[in-house]
Structure 1
Protein backbone atom coordinates (compact mmCIF):
# COMPACT_ATOMS: atom_id res chain seq x y z
CA UNK A 1 0.00 0.00 0.00
CA UNK A 2 1.37 3.40 -0.91
CA UNK A 3 0.65 6.53 1.05
CA UNK A 4 0.94 9.87 -0.64
CA UNK A 5 3.85 12.07 0.26
CA UNK A 6 3.89 15.87 0.25
CA UNK A 7 5.50 17.59 -2.72
CA UNK A 8 8.47 19.15 -0.87
CA UNK A 9 9.67 15.94 0.84
CA UNK A 10 9.20 14.05 -2.45
CA UNK A 11 11.22 16.67 -4.34
CA UNK A 12 13.98 16.53 -1.73
CA UNK A 13 14.11 12.72 -1.89
CA UNK A 14 14.23 12.83 -5.71
CA UNK A 15 17.07 15.35 -5.48
CA UNK A 16 18.95 13.10 -3.05
CA UNK A 17 18.40 10.10 -5.33
CA UNK A 18 19.49 11.91 -8.48
CA UNK A 19 22.40 13.50 -6.63
CA UNK A 20 23.48 10.10 -5.34
CA UNK A 21 23.52 8.68 -8.85
CA UNK A 22 25.46 11.73 -10.06
CA UNK A 23 27.94 11.32 -7.18
CA UNK A 24 28.41 7.67 -8.11
CA UNK A 25 29.13 8.71 -11.69
CA UNK A 26 31.73 11.19 -10.46
CA UNK A 27 33.23 8.40 -8.35
CA UNK A 28 33.50 6.20 -11.43
CA UNK A 29 35.39 8.94 -13.22
CA UNK A 30 37.65 9.51 -10.22
CA UNK A 31 38.44 5.81 -9.91
CA UNK A 32 40.09 5.94 -13.34
CA UNK A 33 41.82 9.29 -12.87
CA UNK A 34 43.13 9.00 -9.29
CA UNK A 35 43.37 6.37 -6.60
CA UNK A 36 40.74 3.66 -7.17
CA UNK A 37 39.94 3.34 -3.45
CA UNK A 38 38.82 6.98 -3.25
CA UNK A 39 36.62 6.58 -6.34
CA UNK A 40 35.07 3.40 -4.97
CA UNK A 41 34.29 5.14 -1.68
CA UNK A 42 32.55 7.97 -3.57
CA UNK A 43 30.60 5.41 -5.63
CA UNK A 44 29.49 3.56 -2.49
CA UNK A 45 28.46 6.78 -0.75
CA UNK A 46 26.47 8.00 -3.77
CA UNK A 47 24.71 4.69 -4.35
CA UNK A 48 23.90 4.22 -0.65
CA UNK A 49 22.27 7.65 -0.49
CA UNK A 50 20.39 7.07 -3.74
CA UNK A 51 19.11 3.66 -2.66
CA UNK A 52 17.91 4.84 0.76
CA UNK A 53 16.12 7.86 -0.71
CA UNK A 54 14.60 5.77 -3.49
CA UNK A 55 13.31 3.12 -1.07
CA UNK A 56 11.65 5.86 0.96
CA UNK A 57 10.09 7.30 -2.20
CA UNK A 58 8.80 3.92 -3.33
CA UNK A 59 7.05 3.45 0.01
CA UNK A 60 5.08 6.66 -0.52
CA UNK A 61 4.58 7.06 -4.26
CA UNK A 62 3.83 4.98 -7.31
CA UNK A 63 6.69 3.41 -9.26
CA UNK A 64 6.16 5.33 -12.53
CA UNK A 65 6.03 8.69 -10.75
CA UNK A 66 9.15 7.91 -8.73
CA UNK A 67 11.26 6.94 -11.72
CA UNK A 68 10.00 9.74 -13.94
CA UNK A 69 10.60 12.18 -11.10
CA UNK A 70 14.17 10.94 -10.72
CA UNK A 71 14.78 11.25 -14.48
CA UNK A 72 13.38 14.79 -14.43
CA UNK A 73 15.54 15.70 -11.45
CA UNK A 74 18.64 14.26 -13.10
CA UNK A 75 17.79 16.17 -16.28
CA UNK A 76 17.57 19.42 -14.33
CA UNK A 77 20.84 18.64 -12.52
CA UNK A 78 22.64 17.98 -15.80
CA UNK A 79 21.23 21.13 -17.39
CA UNK A 80 22.25 23.12 -14.34
CA UNK A 81 25.74 21.65 -14.39
CA UNK A 82 26.10 22.28 -18.11
CA UNK A 83 25.06 25.89 -17.62
CA UNK A 84 27.33 26.33 -14.62
CA UNK A 85 30.36 24.77 -16.31
CA UNK A 86 29.68 26.74 -19.49
CA UNK A 87 29.96 23.58 -21.57
CA UNK A 88 27.02 24.70 -23.66
CA UNK A 89 23.67 23.13 -24.37
CA UNK A 90 22.62 22.42 -27.94
CA UNK A 91 19.13 23.09 -29.19
CA UNK A 92 18.52 19.34 -29.53
CA UNK A 93 19.58 18.76 -25.91
CA UNK A 94 17.36 21.57 -24.69
CA UNK A 95 14.47 20.17 -26.76
CA UNK A 96 14.99 16.74 -25.22
CA UNK A 97 14.93 18.23 -21.73
CA UNK A 98 11.70 20.06 -22.53
CA UNK A 99 10.15 16.79 -23.73
CA UNK A 100 11.21 15.03 -20.50
CA UNK A 101 9.65 17.81 -18.42
CA UNK A 102 6.49 17.88 -20.53
CA UNK A 103 6.15 14.10 -20.27
CA UNK A 104 6.44 14.24 -16.50
CA UNK A 105 3.84 17.02 -16.33
CA UNK A 106 1.52 14.92 -18.49
CA UNK A 107 1.92 11.86 -16.25
CA UNK A 108 1.36 13.96 -13.12
CA UNK A 109 -1.95 15.30 -14.45
CA UNK A 110 -3.17 11.71 -14.75
CA UNK A 111 -3.02 11.19 -10.97
Structure 2
Protein backbone atom coordinates (compact mmCIF):
# COMPACT_ATOMS: atom_id res chain seq x y z
CA UNK A 1 0.00 0.00 0.00
CA UNK A 2 1.49 3.31 -1.04
CA UNK A 3 -1.39 5.77 -0.74
CA UNK A 4 -0.22 9.27 0.00
CA UNK A 5 -0.99 10.90 3.33
CA UNK A 6 -1.98 14.52 3.79
CA UNK A 7 0.69 16.95 4.94
CA UNK A 8 -0.39 17.19 8.60
CA UNK A 9 -0.32 13.41 9.30
CA UNK A 10 3.08 13.16 7.61
CA UNK A 11 4.50 16.00 9.72
CA UNK A 12 2.91 14.53 12.85
CA UNK A 13 4.33 11.05 12.19
CA UNK A 14 7.78 12.48 11.38
CA UNK A 15 7.67 14.40 14.64
CA UNK A 16 6.64 11.28 16.59
CA UNK A 17 9.40 9.26 14.90
CA UNK A 18 12.05 11.91 15.44
CA UNK A 19 10.81 12.49 18.97
CA UNK A 20 11.14 8.78 19.70
CA UNK A 21 14.70 8.72 18.39
CA UNK A 22 15.51 11.92 20.29
CA UNK A 23 14.01 10.43 23.47
CA UNK A 24 16.17 7.33 23.01
CA UNK A 25 19.21 9.57 22.51
CA UNK A 26 18.40 11.46 25.70
CA UNK A 27 17.99 8.11 27.48
CA UNK A 28 21.44 7.09 26.30
CA UNK A 29 22.88 10.36 27.57
CA UNK A 30 21.12 9.88 30.92
CA UNK A 31 22.48 6.33 31.22
CA UNK A 32 25.69 7.72 32.65
CA UNK A 33 23.85 9.84 35.21
CA UNK A 34 20.76 7.88 36.33
CA UNK A 35 19.89 4.33 37.35
CA UNK A 36 20.17 1.92 34.40
CA UNK A 37 16.55 0.77 34.69
CA UNK A 38 15.20 4.28 34.07
CA UNK A 39 17.55 4.84 31.14
CA UNK A 40 16.61 1.52 29.55
CA UNK A 41 12.91 2.32 29.94
CA UNK A 42 13.36 5.72 28.26
CA UNK A 43 15.40 4.19 25.42
CA UNK A 44 12.89 1.37 24.89
CA UNK A 45 9.86 3.67 24.86
CA UNK A 46 11.58 6.06 22.47
CA UNK A 47 12.63 3.36 20.01
CA UNK A 48 9.26 1.56 20.13
CA UNK A 49 7.35 4.78 19.42
CA UNK A 50 9.75 5.74 16.65
CA UNK A 51 9.52 2.32 14.99
CA UNK A 52 5.72 2.26 14.99
CA UNK A 53 5.42 5.78 13.57
CA UNK A 54 8.13 5.16 10.98
CA UNK A 55 6.49 1.94 9.76
CA UNK A 56 3.25 3.88 9.23
CA UNK A 57 5.13 6.62 7.38
CA UNK A 58 6.95 4.21 5.12
CA UNK A 59 3.66 2.66 4.04
CA UNK A 60 2.46 6.02 2.73
CA UNK A 61 5.38 8.23 1.79
CA UNK A 62 8.60 8.32 -0.20
CA UNK A 63 11.61 6.79 1.59
CA UNK A 64 14.05 9.67 0.88
CA UNK A 65 11.60 12.31 2.11
CA UNK A 66 10.63 10.28 5.16
CA UNK A 67 14.23 9.58 6.13
CA UNK A 68 15.46 13.13 5.63
CA UNK A 69 12.38 14.60 7.30
CA UNK A 70 13.04 12.45 10.35
CA UNK A 71 16.73 13.43 10.39
CA UNK A 72 15.84 17.13 10.15
CA UNK A 73 13.22 16.90 12.89
CA UNK A 74 15.46 14.84 15.15
CA UNK A 75 18.34 17.26 14.62
CA UNK A 76 16.18 20.18 15.68
CA UNK A 77 14.78 18.32 18.70
CA UNK A 78 18.20 17.17 19.93
CA UNK A 79 19.71 20.63 19.45
CA UNK A 80 16.80 22.18 21.33
CA UNK A 81 17.34 19.70 24.17
CA UNK A 82 21.10 20.32 24.16
CA UNK A 83 20.51 24.05 24.20
CA UNK A 84 18.14 23.71 27.16
CA UNK A 85 20.15 21.11 29.10
CA UNK A 86 23.61 22.52 28.42
CA UNK A 87 22.81 26.25 28.23
CA UNK A 88 23.29 26.87 24.54
CA UNK A 89 24.66 25.46 21.31
CA UNK A 90 27.82 26.45 19.48
CA UNK A 91 28.04 28.23 16.16
CA UNK A 92 29.33 25.01 14.57
CA UNK A 93 26.30 23.07 15.86
CA UNK A 94 23.90 25.73 14.56
CA UNK A 95 25.76 25.69 11.23
CA UNK A 96 25.43 21.91 11.04
CA UNK A 97 21.70 22.16 11.67
CA UNK A 98 21.44 24.78 8.91
CA UNK A 99 23.22 22.42 6.50
CA UNK A 100 20.81 19.60 7.39
CA UNK A 101 17.87 21.94 6.71
CA UNK A 102 19.39 23.10 3.42
CA UNK A 103 19.91 19.51 2.30
CA UNK A 104 16.31 18.66 3.08
CA UNK A 105 15.14 21.73 1.13
CA UNK A 106 17.16 20.58 -1.89
CA UNK A 107 15.61 17.11 -1.78
CA UNK A 108 12.12 18.61 -1.44
CA UNK A 109 12.69 20.71 -4.58
CA UNK A 110 13.01 17.48 -6.59
CA UNK A 111 9.55 16.25 -5.59
Corresponding residue of 2:37: 37
Q: How many residues align?
A: 111
SS for the counterpart of 1:32 is: coil
Corresponding residue of 1:87: 87
- Taking a change above 3 Å as real, the CA distance of residues 96 and 16 of structure 1, as seen in their structure-2 partners, is same
Corresponding residue of 1:75: 75
Structure 1 residue runs of 5 or longer lacking an equivalent are none
Is 1:60–2:60 an aligned residue pair?
Answer: yes
The 1-side partners of 2:33 and 2:80 are apart by 24
SS for the counterpart of 2:76 is: helix
Corresponding residue of 2:48: 48
The 2-side partners of 1:30 and 1:102 are apart by 31
- Deviation (angstroms), 1:92: 2.2
CA RMSD, 1 decimal: 1.8
The list of structure 1 runs, each at least 4 consecutive aligned residues, that deviate by more than 6 angstroms after superposition, is none
Is 1:3–2:3 an aligned residue pair?
Answer: yes
- Deviation (angstroms), 1:85: 4.1
Q: TM-score, normalised by structure 1?
A: 0.86
- Deviation (angstroms), 1:31: 3.2
SS for the counterpart of 2:87 is: coil
Corresponding residue of 1:104: 104
